[in-house]
A = this chain, B = another copy of it.
Amino acid sequence: MASTSDDAVLDRADVLCRARGVKLTAQRRRVLAILCASPRPLGAYEILDAMREGTRTLAPPTVYRALDFLLEQGLVHKLESLHAFVGCSHPEHPHSSQFLICKTCGAVAEIEDEAIARSLGSAASMSGFQPQRRVVEVIGTCAGCAQKGR
């Protein structure tokens, strides 16, 4: 993330949670803020370190609980191939997106491609399979790094 206005994202998250009758508590908001401020995905322990800035004493479960909540609410995504988390770029509507992960610079692009979703869905239904969660992560080199690297 690290968008032009992270505060806006946080405020939108606030509104979303209120509308859903769930609480974006201080800890949860803090985790979301840290993720949104990072240009690359963060591991749970990196988030933990970031939250400890300023002599706070926190343990892993605190972070994992906040992450569980944010994942449930679709405010963050987990990148399985990296064991890391990113803020969602468009949490307003429920979605299942795909990720392009640059192994050179670490940047991650979240895309929402209709064609991928369709082909995934039809492959599943051909097998009589009922999808619940989709993990689609492409690891490679982003446009910027490909330029430099040549």
Q: Does A139 contact B131, Cβ atoms closer than 8 Å?
A: yes
Q: Does B115 contact A129, Cβ atoms closer than 8 Å?
A: no
Q: Does B130 contact A80, Cβ atoms closer than 8 Å?
A: no
Number of copies: 2
List residues 113-150 of chain A with CB under 8 A from any CB of chain B: 113, 115-116, 118-120, 122-124, 127-143, 146
- Give the residue of B109, B127, B138, B143 whose beta carbon is less than 8 angstroms from that of A120: B138
Alpha-carbon separation in the docked complex, A100 to B122 (Å): 12
A2 is an interface residue with CB less than 8 A from chain B: no
A103 is an interface residue with CB less than 8 A from chain B: yes
Q: How many residues of A contact B (CB 8 A)?
A: 35
How many Å from the CB of A26 to the closest CB on chain B? 31
Nearest CB to that of A102 among chain B residues?
B129
Nearest CB to that of A138 among chain B residues?
B131
Q: Does B128 contact A146, Cβ atoms closer than 8 Å?
A: yes
Specify which of A103, A123, A132 lies most central, judged by the most chain B CB atoms within 10 Å of its CB: A123
A111 is an interface residue with CB less than 8 A from chain B: yes
Alpha-carbon separation in the docked complex, A120 to B141 (Å): 14
A81 is an interface residue with CB less than 8 A from chain B: yes
Known A-B contacts: A98-B123, A129-B140. Give 9 more (CB < 8 A): A80-B135, A98-B120, A100-B124, A109-B127, A111-B127, A113-B123, A131-B140, A132-B140, A134-B137
